[in-house]
Structure 1
Amino acid sequence: MQAPFPPDESTRLNALHQYEILDTAPESDFDDLTRLAAHICGTPIALVSLVDENRQWFKSKVGLDVCETPRDAAFCAHTILQPDLLIIPDTLADERFAANPLVTSAPHIRFYAGMPLTNPQGFALGSLCVIDHSPRQLRPDQIEALRILARQVITQMELRRNLAALQRTALARQQAEAKLAASQAQLQAMLEHMPGFVALNDLEGQIQLVSPGWRQLFAQGQPEPAGRHLSEFFAPERVARLLAEDQAITQAGKAMTFEEKIVCADGLHTYLKVKFPLQTSAGEIYGVGLIALDITERQQIEAALRESEARFRIMADSAPVMVWMTDPQACCSFVNQPWLDFTGRSLEQELGHNWVEGIHPDDKQFLLSTFLSAFDTRLPFETEYRLRRADGKYCWILERGVPRFTPDGSFAGYIGSCLDITNRKQDEAKLQALTCQLQQQNDQLEEASRLKSEFLTNMSHELRTPLTSVLGFSKVLLEQFFGPLTPKQQEYISLIRSSGEHLLSLINDLLDLAKIEAGKLDLNLEAVELAQVCKSAIRMVALRAQAKQQQLVLKLPLACEWVVVDPQRVTQMLLNYLSNAVKFTPEGGSITLSTRIATAAELADQNQPAAQSGVQWGGGKDSSSCERVLTAADYLVLSVQDTGIGIPAEKQYLLFESFQQVDGGSNRQHEGTGLGLALTRRLAEMHGGTVSFTSAAGQGSTFSVWLPLAAPFA
């Protein structure tokens, strides 16, 4: 059966908590009483139990391992309802406890005797109890001993609480004394380091107390002022003036402020004096207190600040731009004369938030949003808006603002400038119109280029069909399937075939160029042997080189064995270089095809095609061209070097441009269309690489293709 709560339970619990004993560590004073109770009563278990809201907690225990049990099963919850000892000889025979879990299971209580622990205020806080595992009775002397021991438990609790209270009192006193000492030390430090001094006088001018700062008024060697009269330190007329001030204060009964210049040991100083009456607790005035602050430096700073502000206004009014300033609340606090001249308004009309009256209605909301957002973030800002001029016309203004901060880092507002950019805006409008016009022209040019590419593609296909027939028939005739030919016939038919092949090569170049410009030429990348590609290109020009008694060399060893490229297009690039070398190298000259591995840094130092036609090549890197090259760590460089006629510096800009030839004109000595180098450049760029060359008139040329070894091409 669960014990009911006492009628004064909340008050009882409050009394228990005042002892601050719950959940504290074991203490020998209580453990001795518990052991004594178990010994006197001859029981295996004895407890000092305290009953709080939900449990009984054991301050001391003998024969039991647990520290607490739930209140609804606690025997002591019944004990605190009793005025005296509660004895249960046999728990199984008592219907209140027969089914109690502390009886039916560990610790198997069969006998219980508990004495309430009642404090001096009459509240039962818990019990001193003894427990046995067998039914039994207590003798009268054991019962009396339990009563005495219970009173001793309460006595120990009272002593414990009183000792804690004394310790708190002692600690509070120590803290108060330490606080007083710290306060006195702070006061003394303040008096010693304040920029002035403090003094207390009686009504007759007798000095009662002064701070160390008093001594700065005099040269060294002056006597201790306390207990002496003012007349021992000051001239009679000054003493009279000081006493008159004191009299005025005592008559008014309130503090007064004075400013006085005093000649000190180190020169003239200005002091701000605050004098106040000294009163007893009854309100009787018995003297005058003085706090004197040296404001010499402050006055100097204020004078310097006034001078600085005057200089700032002169500079701001002389500036060629409008200048403004705000306070931390985003209110305008200053505009310079150019602003006032521009708007035709007075300074008073512009201060605060009145300056927004001149903003164009369509720009006002945007400007205020930008302005206030900058105040929230404390960041610089720049914006453009229209401001009404004195003649009523709205002009475009470029405004910049930056936050201002005081020396201690506090936000002080913004300062900014405004510049009339109306002319610039008009120029921008003209430029935009011109840009639109140029864009339209560019679109037209692109369309014309597209139509040109489409025309070239169609024409190339139309020309290749009959040309293929011409080449086929000429081949059949040369093979003399239809009878023998005379030498003259063979010569003419050979000319027909070579001219046709030349024309077919031209058509193929035109077709490739058109496909590239239209974005319809795809690379077929594959891993190929570099030697196979190089030897194939050499074989294609070998007969022409032999005809001119030229030495054609493939330089070994090659830079690498395998490379990922479009073999047909790489062969085409090499063939263009080799064909030009054979064409422009005199009889008996030499032509060398070589390979090497180079870095991106080396590429940056090469002559590369200029971004636009008509730009003469120079030594070193062309940045616009380098931007078109895929960045790679290493490059395979295929170079064709000849001992030919070379290219004059003034004509090198024509290289790699479509339909351009160095020896162009009606009297040119070498045939060609001017497409070979242009195609080579385009094909190299499609591989993610580029081209380069070196040449000098009469000294030969070297043309190179740069192909990245890593080939992530689309």
Structure 2
Amino acid sequence: MNEWRGKSNVQEAVAERGPERRDRPAVRSQPAVRLPNEARRLEALREYNLLDTLPEQVLDDLTTLASHICGTPISLISLIDKDRQWFKSRVGLSTSELPRDISFCGHTILQPHMFTVPDATQDERFADNPLVTGDLQIRFYAGMPLTSPEGHALGTLCVIDHKPRQLTPLQQESLQVLARQAMTQFELRRQMREVGESEARLRLALDAAQMGTFEWDMAHNRVTWSRGHEKLWGFKPGEFDGTFEAFTRRVHPDDLPGLNVEIARCLAARETFSSDFRVIWLDGTVHWIAARGEFSFDARGHPLRMRGAVLETTEQKRAEQALARRAQLASLRADVAQALTRAGEPRDIMQQISEALVMHLNAAFARVWTLNEAENTLELQASAGLYTNLNGLQSRVKMGEMKIGRIAQNRAAHLTNEVLHDPEISDPEWAKREGITAFAGYPLLVENRVMGVVALFCRSRLSQEILQELAHIADGLAQWILRKLAEEALHATQSQLEQYTHELEGRVAQRTADLKGMNEQLEAFVYSIAHDLRAPLRALIGYSQMLVEDHSADLDEDAKELLNRIQNSSGFMDKLVIDLLAYGRAASAEIELAPVSVQEQWEIALSQCATQIEQTNAQVETIGQLPTVRAHAATLGQCLANLLSNALKFIKAGAKPQVRFWSDDHGHYVRLWIADNGIGIAPEQKERVFRVFERLQSSRYPGTGIGLSIVRKGIERMGGKVGVESEPNKGSRFWIELPKTF
């Protein structure tokens, strides 16, 4: 992954913001305000002993995971010092610290939740920030505050991108989970350091004060204790009778066998005795003791005595146990979070969560049910531990029935550390036989909507800390199930939509094919009819001409007028048939596309319209060099001739036609323009002019209304387009667009 290395550029940008740059306007970006308890927050930060320490793989793994999940090039664990932000872990950034007054993270620690900047350039707090305008080019930022158990925001886990964006809900949830993991690691680090310091103090006290010293006369089985030693065993001064049996009576019965084995082993191996065990005071309280001792032997190797010291380590053990519990819960939280963010079958993921509960909480077994809302029934989806079979009495539980059904119906957790005395437990003998002590069952709720139930039986008591973690896991699992239900519904809708789309496309394709066939048949029919009509029309024209030439003297004026009308109508009809034949050829004739010189076809069009140009005294101008296009020569020539003829025809009375012809480059296409100074076309009529038999000026200008239809059909068959730009009384500009030749 590329790393940004522009620290010097940031420093320069910060310098430019200083008072010496009087010529620059004031920047809009604003440093974050300081917290009211800033001094205490800084003190708490230093208590963790994190600043300026070496990288740690477990934290680097979290930033790497955040970068991968959120899809960002930069991910940081940032600690906010007095005047700087220092990066304990970083991905995609080489510098180890930046000034606090330009940091985004300084704003994040003011928030109780995630702080997001979708586009820094559009945020007045950051628009002129050097991290935005400089080489780093920050556009997107999302950060979660890393808050200590005492409520102090030490820093952030943040992700950064060079382009504006948003995190998905899943990415936001994952970033929150990773932030909690980072804070858990900080806590583990602090507590491990505190435990280490505690152990050192205890060793120093033992060495310096020799508190709790003892001597065991093994030959006479007598034990001599110091007064401090008696206190550690819960005896009053002078109450201990000095016998080894009095010593062993106070040792926890679960630890005594192991203690005796260790004593025997050290005697046999002549090693220093060292053991940690529990003692039970008369008031029933349990205390941890760390004992160390050296054996002495006579000349024959028989043990004489053991001298040593003891120290109460109850607080240390409690701290170790608390640390172990937190590590255990952190591992559970991490495994559950990883399962919920992993792709896979929902049942497999719920099975992984059940197995994590069994492994990390020493549960006898754990199960997950989901609610079938249609049947109002809880269905067993996962089971780990003693029972893994999903088929059985509790595989399908009606709402309100049995303990699991009542948990769902009441929407309330059922928790107990006294399973044998719980009336909700249906088989106390089974619980006693299996050593079951505790039960925890949680409804999986999202805004009071039941998603299912998660439950587990344990062989040890469930602390309040564990119960809180289980409640958090239940909330996360409920949200995940709701999300999966939404995904399944979306997938079903998409599948149905795809099916409908496929069916619709098939219908459209069939309808299009049918219409195309009908059009082709109609065009063939029109072509055939037009071709057959020409013979009688030509005969009619010929006979009328013969009457005019041979019998004109025998006809009166009315007959001559009628004969003239016959000739004009027959001529129009013949022109119409000719245009219909041309349209039929444009629509159905086989054409082969090849490189065609526009210049040559334009000259042919000019030749075809030469008489019309001469009669109208028109001015025709060709502008620039004309290109070569991929087309059919005869079709293109016909289209150009039709457009030129129209440009010469549709002119105001008494006006002199002025026509211009040129070409433009349009990427892979060439656009040919024919512009005139004619009567123009109203905007609402632009599409009509290309329809067959459409004549907008039928009373004033002769024509069949097919010429532009021939142009459109011919151009489209060559893979091109045709259009017009026009206003009434301002002339028209017709254009043809055809592919280039390469």
User: For the superposition of Structure 1 and Structure 2, which TM-score range results when normalised by the shorter chain?
Assistant: 0.3 to 0.5
TM-score (norm 1): 0.42
TM-score (norm 2): 0.40
